[in-house]
Structure 1
């Protein structure tokens, strides 16, 4: 390589981020390093770093290497917005170790928090987007009696979503503890809640917007928010996710009144939206953990 200048190298017309190399020179010797490896040498592995980088890459099918790098806490080559393709469905990394050490029992270990791209899927293959007419996912009538735990979404649809996730992820679908509201007072504010085992959850306002907005927290935010008290990195780093890429809105679990729950807004107006529990204008986008 003697007497060859850097500027004499032509540009690669077929760039490949996985296989392109960075060349380094020291006197009359040279070496090469994959660009991808050079990047990782500057960006350390771990949840704290990877939670603050949005990439949006296709990770392909979930495999044993992914699982090993989740369980060992390195999260190597996994960043926010990256997605797995499992049985034809895309599942996006929305957070890394976001519920680590949470819960009222044994703390959770290392995990990814995933959400489907746009909408959850039932075990019969139906995607839970709204149609504005017949999709009364939260409740068939405008009531919040029984809190979120009393809804059709919690009692009927979430078990069906869980079956689909169990089929797709098997033993890597984790059980975690989740706070669920169980009662509302005469003013429509939740006043009772309990920790329950869960394999999936419906996000609250804080997870999406970073703040409580429309939820009725007169009796304390714990009933609506529980331990999910931090905005998910996916929504912090990519605001297009907040409007669900300008698709249908999706339900949030915050009780707002005696007849309505919070939801996102497809066009971003007024921050979090809310509506009657029987509204057909919001779909479902549940989160879950793998590890």
Structure 2
């Protein structure tokens, strides 16, 4: 082996990542190890490391190995930007254990926070992409009365999104607790809210941008933000995600005024619009484990 030159090795056709090896040389001895094993020798398992690596691989359909590696907390071979392909939809890993320890009366185990690639779908397969004509996903009129809890998005579209996710993930779709605004004051700022059970949520400004920008937090940021106070690793590590790959702007749940909600724009802009605007789509998040 000592007389073999690197250029004498044949080209690697890469038939399977599990069949790729690297040579190890130590004084007068040689050996080999799988590239994947060498990688995990340098990149430890666990949420802290995997939350800080963007990869973007297609993981295929969710399987028992994925679930085992989520539940045991190693998150082996799952990184930010990787995605599952299920029933014609791609679901991107946006955060790892993002909501662990959060909520008023529930203790979540290890989990992935997923979002659809670009936009959510209803249980009939409809993609919540705006057409600029009649796609009033937040409300039919420009009002925020009753808070986010009283919107058409919350009452009509989110249950349908949830049914689609239940069909795709079954019992691995997790329940969590979230803060939902339920009232706005005379100035259009939310002033009441409550914890509610959820299996699907709409992101707020901190989850996308890392801070509040257009949400009206005069009475307390809690009503708009609740416990979702940190930027998701997906948006931190890949700027193209914050403009949704220039596909479509999407609604955020932060109330801006008596007439409008915050949104995430297609050119990287944080914006807001009247609740009946037809130019904003929906990109919900959920947890699996």
Q: TM-score, normalised to structure 2's length?
A: 0.97
1:19 paired residue number: 19
Deviation of the 1:267 alpha carbon: 1.0
2:156 paired residue number: 156
Matches within 5 A, 1:207-246: 207-246=207-246
Deviation of the 1:10 alpha carbon: 3.4
Deviation of the 1:3 alpha carbon: 2.7
2:85 paired residue number: 85
CA distance change for structure 1 residues 214 and 11 in 2, over 3 Å: closer, same or farther? Answer: farther
1:55 paired residue number: 55
1:274 paired residue number: 272
How far apart, in 1, do the equivalents of 2:215 and 2:10 lie? Answer: 55
Does the residue aligned with 2:30 lie in a helix, a strand or coil? strand
How far apart, in 2, do the equivalents of 1:154 and 1:18 lie? Answer: 44
The answer to whether the 8 A contact 2:106-2:176 is kept is no
1:78-124 deviations in Å (ceiling 9; x for gaps): 00000000111100000000001111013211000000000111011
Does the residue aligned with 2:19 lie in a helix, a strand or coil? coil
Matches within 5 A, 1:128-167: 128-167=128-167
How far apart, in 1, do the equivalents of 2:232 and 2:2 lie? Answer: 51
How far apart, in 2, do the equivalents of 1:236 and 1:8 lie? Answer: 40
Count of equivalent residues: 288
Matches within 5 A, 1:118-197: 118-197=118-197
How far apart, in 2, do the equivalents of 1:189 and 1:229 lie? Answer: 18
Range with greater deviation from structure 2 (27-36 or 201-210): 27-36
How far apart, in 1, do the equivalents of 2:47 and 2:30 lie? Answer: 34
Does the residue aligned with 1:140 lie in a helix, a strand or coil? coil
Superposed CA RMSD: 1.2
2:8 equivalent to 1:9: yes
Name structure 1 gaps, 5 residues minimum. Answer: none
How far apart, in 2, do the equivalents of 1:49 and 1:2 lie? Answer: 37
Deviation of the 1:12 alpha carbon: 2.3
Name structure 2 gaps, 5 residues minimum. Answer: none
